[in-house]
Structure 1
Amino acid sequence: MSAVRALALPVLRRIALLVTLLAIVFVAVDLLPGSAARAALGRDASPAEIAAKEHELGLDRPLPVQFWHWISGVVTGDFGRTARGTEIGDLLAAKFPQTLLLGGIALLLTVVLSLALGCWWALRPSSLGARILQPTTTIGVAVPEFVCGTVLILVFSLATGWLPAVTITGRSGFPAGPEMLILPVLALAIPQIGWNTRIVRSALLDVATAPHVESAVLEGLPARTILWRHLLPFAAPTVVAGYATSVGMLFGGALVVETLFNYPGIGAVLAGSVADRDTTTVAAVVALTALVIMVLLAVADLVRARATGGLR
């Protein structure tokens, strides 16, 4: 029972943090200059038309009342409508799968490469590759997704012409070709690969000093056996925590990368809703993204609990 409580408490804290974050989003968008009603009606709208539109959208009510009305609907699955009259739920359903595809491929690439590089680095700390990984992973961590994407465009699109810099959308709403995913995925994954490679390597080196690992080495077990049976299982909690952190970073970075590459995902929805001062749409994007991150963090908590023996 205590293990269940230990897993439930982080979930409750994250829910409380999410509600607080959404309230801050409402306040922040409300403080921006402009009006959702004016953005929906255009510059030529009269003050009377704008006032009528604000009344229709509920913008003439106090901000706490607007927030309570909106979040009460979210609990039942109703995200409301945009200032232009589109169902927000339909809009998210049409765009969020593209963002999930982008973030999912970037996460898969991050896990595979960081595990391989981190394990190799830990097993061969004095090799030439290890000396190369030391500065390159540091650079990867330091460079944000936007800068990384810009460099990739300069090199692989403008200089060589090998890959497209702009995403063209097919009839399905997804990129028209797989080659259009390469640069956005790399822009997202490179910083996280650098970060998680260092985490994997550090976690393995910490476990390597444990008595059972030293015994395995003295018994003459192959390095691969020691890695898979004696190092990785005990390093798993730290490694999984790193990947769980990367989930939030990937989805947050996706919103920026999508704008840079004109990718047809939720980032375009967020950029347009901020420009329109559409508070409910901005909050809906934040809520849905945070919900996905919370689910994945809960899975990571479960994996860590099982790995450490805290869940029976």
Structure 2
Amino acid sequence: MAALNHRALALAGHLAVAVARRAVLLVLLLALVFAAVEALPGDAAAAASERGESPADRAARRHLLGLDRPLWERFLDWMTALPSGDLGTSAHGRPVTELLTDPFPNTLLLGGTAFVLTVVLSLGLGCWAAARPGRLTDRIIGHTATAAFAVPEFVVSVLLLLLLSLWTGWLPAVTVTGADGAPATWTMLIMPVLALVIPQTGWNTRIVRGALADQATAPHVEAAFLDGLPTHQVLLRHALPGAVPAVATGIATSTGMLLGGAVVVETLFNYPGVGTVLAGAVAARDTPLVAGVVAGAGALISLVLLAADLLRARVLGARP
């Protein structure tokens, strides 16, 4: 009982430290976003100005948007309102939360689907290769995974557009939205999802394969092989549990890569997600909107990384 309580306290302490660390990193990231947008040429007032507008009109707009206030003051006000869910007001006068209500769920659908497929394919391919170490199957999967990860998302997107849309006509080249703001048909998700899945599956397949290779030399795994257990049983019951910390870290890292890649993929396929909103916000120098997108994505990534940290801590803590 004492050992169990000690383990629970240790896990709670690890959770508190991890949450604090992620929160500090998120605040630093948001500060960097404010500074980066401020460093870009022009500002929201200049981006929204019309031809023939006088300097006095532009100065009045700058005052209305609060751009004549120091950057640190604007950032502090925005951060003070953030815990209540207030992401500020965009340069066009609309609440940022309202602007993200429709596109953010679409990005979650795209990224979530890609995430699930990446996990399933990576585990399957990594275990398949590990079950045949050094054989042709292992080499083919290893080389293919490396090549897949080396190709950027925009190149994969262009190749998919050529193959599945322009040359064959099997899938629509762009995404058309329905009345609810979501893609009109599920087929419009196929190419954007594949463009995200292919590179990340390559990355995580290599991680799964490497983690299982490390576990193959563990005493309990070697003992299982000596006992004559089938290869697939040894992998799933003895090697894979020990590989969970490395695999979880790799998959959690893919969350950030998936969301980052979504910005490019959504733009290429005209997908109605936050990537399109972010591109427009940067062009308009709309700092609150850019920060709102980063805050939402950063919070999601932090939660996934936190879950991976807790899983690693639990697995490693359960070892004798």
1:40-85 deviations in whole A, cap 9, x for unaligned?
3433432222212211111110111111111111122111111111
Deviation, structure 1 residue 8: 2.2
Counterpart Cα distance in 2 of 1:35 and 1:154? 38
Question: In the superposition, relative to structure 1, how do residues 291 and 229 fare at CA in structure 2: closer, same or farther (>3 Å)?
Answer: same
Q: Partner residue of 2:139?
A: 131
Deviation, structure 1 residue 121: 0.1
Counterpart Cα distance in 1 of 2:228 and 2:139? 27
Question: Aligned partner of 2:295: which letter?
Answer: A
User: Is the partner of 2:249 in helix, strand or coil?
Assistant: helix
- Counterpart contact for 1:3–1:310, Cα < 8 Å: no
Q: Partner residue of 1:198?
A: 206
Question: Aligned partner of 2:186: which letter?
Answer: P
Deviation, structure 1 residue 128: 2.8
Q: Which piece of structure 1 moves more, 147-156 or 81-90?
A: 147-156
User: Is the partner of 1:43 in helix, strand or coil?
Assistant: coil
1:9-38 deviations in whole A, cap 9, x for unaligned?
232222212211111111111121222123
- Counterpart contact for 1:184–1:258, Cα < 8 Å: yes
Deviation, structure 1 residue 269: 0.8
Q: Partner residue of 1:38?
A: 46
User: Is the partner of 2:101 in helix, strand or coil?
Assistant: helix
Q: Find the partner of 1:110 among 109, 118, 128.
A: 118
Give yes or no for the alignment of 1:264 onto 2:268: no
User: Is the partner of 2:102 in helix, strand or coil?
Assistant: helix
Q: Partner residue of 2:295?
A: 287
User: Is the partner of 2:48 in helix, strand or coil?
Assistant: helix
Structure 2: tracts of 5 or more residues without a match: 1-8
Q: Partner residue of 1:56?
A: 64
Q: Which piece of structure 1 moves more, 91-100 or 300-309?
A: 300-309
- Counterpart contact for 1:38–1:45, Cα < 8 Å: no
Deviation, structure 1 residue 5: 2.1
Q: Map of 1:223-262 to 2, 5 A cutoff?
A: 223-262=231-270
Q: Partner residue of 1:10?
A: 18
Query: TM-score w.r.t. structure 2 length?
Result: 0.93
Deviation, structure 1 residue 3: 2.9
Q: Find the partner of 2:315 among 293, 301, 307.
A: 307
Give yes or no for the alignment of 1:187 onto 2:198: no
1:120-179 deviations in whole A, cap 9, x for unaligned?
000012333222212211111111111111111122212222212211111121111111
Counterpart Cα distance in 1 of 2:76 and 2:93? 20
Q: Partner residue of 2:3?
A: none
User: Is the partner of 2:317 in helix, strand or coil?
Assistant: coil
Q: Map of 1:18-37 to 2, 5 A cutoff?
A: 18-37=26-45
Give yes or no for the alignment of 1:157 onto 2:154: no
User: Is the partner of 1:309 in helix, strand or coil?
Assistant: helix
Query: TM-score w.r.t. structure 1 length?
Result: 0.96
Question: Aligned partner of 2:175: which letter?
Answer: T
Q: Partner residue of 2:5?
A: none
Counterpart Cα distance in 1 of 2:43 and 2:11? 48
How many residue pairs end up in the alignment?
Answer: 311
Deviation, structure 1 residue 252: 1.1
Q: Partner residue of 1:92?
A: 100
Structure 1: tracts of 5 or more residues without a match: none
- Counterpart contact for 1:119–1:200, Cα < 8 Å: yes
Q: How high is the sequence identity, in percent, across the aligned residues?
A: 59
Q: Which piece of structure 1 moves more, 216-225 or 268-277?
A: 216-225
Question: In the superposition, relative to structure 1, how do residues 95 and 112 fare at CA in structure 2: closer, same or farther (>3 Å)?
Answer: same
Q: Find the partner of 2:306 among 290, 298, 302.
A: 298
- Counterpart contact for 1:82–1:280, Cα < 8 Å: yes
Counterpart Cα distance in 1 of 2:198 and 2:50? 41
Deviation, structure 1 residue 310: 5.8
Counterpart Cα distance in 2 of 1:45 and 1:68? 31
Question: In the superposition, relative to structure 1, how do residues 228 and 61 fare at CA in structure 2: closer, same or farther (>3 Å)?
Answer: same
What is the RMSD of the two structures over their aligned residues, measured on CA atoms? 1.5
